[in-house]
Amino acid sequence: MNGNGAVVLLVCCFFTLLLLPVVLFLLTYIFRLACVLCGLPKPSVLAASGIMMINFVADAIALTILEQVVRQLAGVAGIPRWEAWIVTRFLDLPVDLAISSGLHAAIMGIKFGKGIEVWFVQRLIQLGIVAVCVLIAVIVMFIQGKV
């Protein structure tokens, strides 16, 4: 690795370390907000962080397994890798729903249906944030005359 590559790597690692607490705070805040909006008691920050961490690990394992299965099946069927990637992301949604709702229900002692409700509200809030960011980016591009 040349000198410039090492500097870029260090800068990327530095900004990742700076943004990681912000992202974790935002995800925990959204989860706690979703619980309140669904009529559940607001979990403590520690409980919410724990649920988010366990959920992340369990979903990452499930996604990795699902990705390998879809990639093998796509190779046999002759489907391009990028299409297999899209299929995997769509198939991961119900898997993530089941894992997240089940873990939340088991850890917090709530009904599985309430866990599903929290999952949908949480994803809706996240989708709203992404939609607002995209809208702002499109408006900025229109103002700059790039579109």
pLDDT tens by residue, 93-109: 999 999 999 999 998 89
* Domains of the chain: total: 1
Residues whose CB falls within 8 Å of the CB of residue 41, separated by 6 or more in sequence, listed in order: 35
Q: Enter the pTM of the model.
A: 0.80
Residue 57's pLDDT is 92
Convert the pLDDT of each residue in 49-92 to its tens digit: 888 889 989 999 999 999 999 999 998 988 888 888 899 999 99
| Average pLDDT taken over every residue of the chain | 90
Domain hosting residue 19, numbered range:
3-144
Sign of the torsion formed by the C-alpha atoms of 39, 42, 43 and 49: positive
Q: Are 3 and 10 in contact (CB under 8 A)?
A: no
Distance CA 16, CA 68 (A): 27
Cβ burial of 147 (10 Å; 0-12, 13-18, 19+) is: exposed
Distance CA 50, CA 42 (A): 14
Convert the pLDDT of each residue in 16-27 to its tens digit: 788 888 888 899
Collapse the DSSP code of 43 into the 3-class scheme (helix H, G, I; strand E, B; otherwise coil) and give the result.
coil
